[in-house]
């Protein structure tokens, strides 16, 4: 692991790091905020997954998470959204696919299978680095994210319910197998067999028997992408599966980081109560 930068903030340390990823076969960059409590004891880990077109820096610069993370004593880990580099297969003219749009899955189709393995990266490779390099209590992990990252957080938690104590999302893509900004990516990464898409679709996973005790979602009621995000489909799927969903429709808020940052502290407090309890 290489240290790119560190800065003191709210008594803790905001760092940016890089390493060669075996899962994605390229150099990967990620951000970690370590709260001041980590100087005295191992701290819970809260994973934040970003959305389409983003990398590790968007939430670091605009998410306003450090004060709340310091208050509740949680480490915040912000991975990139996708593999990057000159040798990584990409479609630079399509913002819904390729670099910036890894969709937190493991690709099975060539040429993407060589690099696009964000599911394995987030669930296996990067946690090993966090465990070895930071004073992290890996027995207490939560996960959340925004939009495509909300999709990632929900699907990853549903497939790993024993690992994550808490899961939430900001405006998640609830049914990527049906939304126009994700269907094309799933087809390129996973092929035409739509049964394979179900592994990376929250509503499908719930329908197929995957379960969680509770989910928290904040959704801007003025979001231009409500049809694509399908919060009502998520609500129906959770009701059918018996999952306790708290869906907060936030009046007047859109899809941007102005929305995310407005409810970041409340989501971290929600995670903190469960991770520290």
Q: What is the pLDDT of residue 26?
A: 97
- Does the pTM exceed 0.95? yes
Confidence category of residue 114, pLDDT binned at 50, 70, 90 = very high
Which run of H or of E encompasses 143? strand 136-145
Please report, rounded to a whole number, the percentage of residues in the chain having pLDDT higher than 70.
100
Catalytic residue among 50, 147, 182, 204: 147
Could you state, in order of their start, the residue ranges of all structural domains in the chain? 2-276
- The CA-atom distances, in angstroms, between 124 and each of 73, 83, 88, 117, 269 are 23, 15, 21, 11, 26
Q: How many CB atoms lie within 10 A of CB 240?
A: 11
pLDDT tens digits for range 36-62: 999 999 999 999 999 999 999 999 999
Q: What is the pLDDT of residue 155?
A: 98
Angle at 224 between CA 255 and CA 262, to 5 degrees: 25
DSSP 8-class letter at 161:
T
For this structure, is 147 an active site residue?
yes
16-28 mean pLDDT = 98
Are the beta carbons of 30 and 76 closer than 8 angstroms?
A: no
Question: Could you tell me how far CA 128 lies from the centroid of its own chain?
Answer: 17
Catalytic residue among 72, 146, 210, 255: 255
Catalytic residue among 151, 218, 223, 271: 223
Are the beta carbons of 201 and 237 closer than 8 angstroms?
A: no
Q: Domain 2-276 classified CATH 3.40.50.1820?
A: yes
Q: What is the pLDDT of residue 9?
A: 98
128-139 mean pLDDT = 98
Q: What is the pLDDT of residue 176?
A: 97
Q: What is the pLDDT of residue 169?
A: 98
Query: Reduced to 3 states, what is the DSSP secondary structure of residue 10?
Result: coil
Residue written as token pair 């060669």: 20
For this structure, is 223 an active site residue?
yes
């Amino acid at each position: 692991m290489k240290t790119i930068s560190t800065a003191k903030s709210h008594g803790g340390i905001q760092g940016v790091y890089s390493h060669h990823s075996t899962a994605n076969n390229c150099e990967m960059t990620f951000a970690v905020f370590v709260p001041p409590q980590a100087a005295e004891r191992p701290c819970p880990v809260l994973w934040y997954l970003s959305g389409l077109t983003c990398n590790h820096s968007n939430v670091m610069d605009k998410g306003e998470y450090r004060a709340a993370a310091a208050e509740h004593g949680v480490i915040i880990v912000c991975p990139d959204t996708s593999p990057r580099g000159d040798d990584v297969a990409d479609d630079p003219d399509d913002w819904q696919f390729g670099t910036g749009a890894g969709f937190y899955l493991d690709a099975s189709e060539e040429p993407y299978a060589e690099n696009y393995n964000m599911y394995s990266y987030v669930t296996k490779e990067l946690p090993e680095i966090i465990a070895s390099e930071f004073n992290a209590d890996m027995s207490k992990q939560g996960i959340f994210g925004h939009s495509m990252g909300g999709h990632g957080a929900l699907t990853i938690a549903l497939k790993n319910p024993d690992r994550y104590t808490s899961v939430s999302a900001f405006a998640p893509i609830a049914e990527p197998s049906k939304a126009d900004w994700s269907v094309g990516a799933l087809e390129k990464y996973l092929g035409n067999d739509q049964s394979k898409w179900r592994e990376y679709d929250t509503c499908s996973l719930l329908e197929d028997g995957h379960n969680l005790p509770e989910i928290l979602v904040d959704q801007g009621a003025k979001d231009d992408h409500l049809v694509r995000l399908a919060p009502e489909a998520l609500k129906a799927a959770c009701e059918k599966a018996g999952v306790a969903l708290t869906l907060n429709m936030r009046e007047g808020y859109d899809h941007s980081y102005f929305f995310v940052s407005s409810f970041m502290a409340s989501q971290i407090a929600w995670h903190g109560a469960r991770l520290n309890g």
